[in-house]
Amino acid sequence: ISSLYSKLCKFMKKAWEIGVNDPRKFIHCLKVGIALTAVSLFYYLNPLYDGVGRNAMWAVMTVVVVFEYTAGSTIYKSVNRICGTTLAGLLAFGVQWVASKAGKQLEPVIVGVLLFLLGSAATFSRFIPTIKARFDYGVLIFILTFSLVSISGYRIDELFDMAQQRISTIIIGTSLCIIVSMIIRPVWAGLELYVLVTGNLDKLANSLEGCVAQYFEAQSTSEESNKKLMDYKCVLNSKATEVSMANLARWEPAHGRFNFRHPWKQYLEIGATMRRCASCIDALVGCINSENKSSDEIKKIMSTTSMKVGANSASVLRELSITINNMTKSKKLDSLVKEMNIATQELQNLLKSYSNTHNVNAKETSSLGDAKMEIPIMEVIQVVTVISLLIETVARVEDIVKS
């Protein structure tokens, strides 16, 4: 029992930490509680209850199902729910009307067949990528409402009243959700995406600088710096989050410095180039940790220039992050890119001259070490060239983003 208790304690502690690390999660929970309590008033207060009747249940249900963490997600689900319900309701009425003309015997057959066909077709449409990205929930609600209305039409007579009431309660529920999620400390998917992207740029810069520094200065690898070094791994795995955020951000109204038609897709492009950059850093780290150690001599020679290249690329990445932050094209960026390119060129020149001088000395020093020695620096160059290529792409994207 005591082990169970300690496990429980651990679990609670962990859960508490999640909340403390991101207080907005606590706030979100409170918001859900507020929305739920508010909607329950429709059931408890007599004047409100008389208006909607027992269908107030549907408002409660809507709140539970629709309320999501980000405002964009809530709006997406609300709009989808309302549209899906209305569309399916109208269609179901049409079907019901046609079927009722055919007589009580044939009615279930007609409705059943149509249900089968429409259900299959709607399910299939959920596999189509564009629909899946924007209207997945709406189609689900469409199937749900259509089957409920068309089936219950067989037993219930005042179908129209019921449907009308249900739609109005759903509208009440969704508008309550939208209001609560947008007024009380809103969490915007767009802002999240934007923080994620700029944060990732900074992380890349840290990793890049860190791993170059670690290699050339042979720093004692403190835990903190090691942790920073591994930051790039987050960047590699952030694709799914970015895509869903961008999808949701599209539903959000103008907020803060973001317009309604903010170019969210460009964040995805930046994200993709960042991921390419991260995979380069991954290769670089693998190279640093590989068994082929180079001699200290060559390290010393290359160290200053390589560090410079690393630092320059990192500062370009940081400047990019600031640029996106300000949403204006900074003049500093161009000069930084130039500086970085110069540093890269320098490193290449150094390498060339080194291999010149080294070749002369080759017969003296063991040239066996030579092959191994150059690998990491070659790798650095390779990474740097890819990065400079990449930064050009990002800079191009920047031209469009400025607004």
Scan residues 243-302 and list those touching a copy of itself (CB under 8 A).
Answer: 275-276, 278-280, 282-283, 286-287, 290-292
Cβ proximity to a copy of itself, 132 vs 402, nearer residue:
132
Please report, as residue ranges, which positions from 103 to 162 form the binding site for a copy of itself (by CB under 8 A).
108, 111-112, 115-117, 119-121, 123-125, 127-128, 140, 143-144, 147-148, 151-152, 154-155
Q: Quick one: which of 221, 237, 259, 345 contacts a copy of itself (CB under 8 A)? A: 237
> At its nearest, how many Å lie between a copy of itself and the CB of residue 336?
22
Partnered with residue 255 across adjacent β-strands are: 258
Q: Are 292 and 267 in contact (CB under 8 A)?
A: no
DSSP element (H, E) containing 39: helix 23-44
First to last CA, the chain: 61
CA angle 132, 135, 139 (to 5 degrees): 95
What CA–CA distance (Å, rounded) separates 216 from 306? 8
30 forms part of the interface with a copy of itself (CB under 8 A): yes
Please report, as residue ranges, which positions from 45 to 74 form the binding site for a copy of itself (by CB under 8 A).
49, 54, 57, 60-61, 64-65
CA angle 390, 229, 16 (to 5 degrees): 115
Cβ proximity to a copy of itself, 250 vs 275, nearer residue:
275
User: What DSSP designation does 294 have?
Assistant: P
Please report, as residue ranges, which positions from 217 to 236 form the binding site for a copy of itself (by CB under 8 A).
236
The stretch among 2-10, 94-102, 330-338, 350-358 that binds a copy of itself (CB under 8 A) is 350-358
Strands (E), 246-366: none
Cβ proximity to a copy of itself, 82 vs 377, nearer residue:
377
With H, G, I as helix, E, B as strand and everything else as coil, classify residue 347: helix
Cβ proximity to a copy of itself, 60 vs 322, nearer residue:
60
Cβ proximity to a copy of itself, 94 vs 112, nearer residue:
112
Cβ count near 346 (within 10 Å):
15
Amino acid at 88: A
DSSP element (H, E) containing 163: helix 159-183
The stretch among 20-28, 73-81, 309-317, 322-330 that binds a copy of itself (CB under 8 A) is 20-28
